[in-house]
């Protein structure tokens, strides 16, 4: 198994980066969709279209991406022996946080689909900053390996 991973390492690493980009794109888009959804009239045709868009974003981009990111990421971490490194533990903590954010987004999309609008547009715009900040910290941890 290790030999196969070694041969495919650069391709696995590339896949990890590509799917992280897809995942982050989805995490950046979904709160904006929520803002536009909430600004539409309740029970309108426009609101129904936003439910469909949110559902497709989750089903086609977000959920498949998070699965690939986790599987390939853990495989790569195991292969290079990063599991014992402090920078990796910190990265893992932030990736867990992004995964929780993903879960929150999926659950909020379901709330909006039911007509429940529990957050304001301003709150959703603030939530939109979470993946950007987390991603910046993760990149610094991976590139600089400060500890």
- The answer to whether 91 is a known ligand-binding residue is yes
Six token digits for residue 85? 């490194």
Q: Is the dihedral of CA 100, 143, 19, 74 positive or negative?
A: negative
Residues belonging to the binding site for heme are 16, 91
- Point out the annotated binding site: 16, 91
């Amino acid at each position: 198994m290790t030999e196969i991973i070694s041969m495919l390492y650069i391709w696995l690493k590339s896949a990890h980066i590509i799917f992280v980009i897809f995942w982050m794109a989805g995490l950046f888009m979904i709160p904006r969709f929520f803002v536009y959804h909430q600004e539409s009239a309740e029970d309108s045709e426009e609101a129904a279209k936003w439910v469909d868009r949110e559902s497709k974003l989750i089903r086609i981009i977000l959920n498949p991406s998070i699965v690939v990111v986790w599987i390939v990421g853990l495989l790569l971490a195991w292969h290079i022996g990063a599991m014992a490194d402090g920078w990796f533990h910190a990265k893992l903590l932030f990736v867990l946080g992004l995964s929780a954010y993903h879960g929150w987004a999926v659950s909020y999309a379901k709330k909006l689909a039911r007509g429940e609008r529990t957050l304001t547009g301003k709150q959703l715009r603030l939530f939109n900053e979470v993946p950007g900040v987390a991603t910046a910290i993760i990149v610094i941890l991976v590139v600089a390996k400060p500890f």
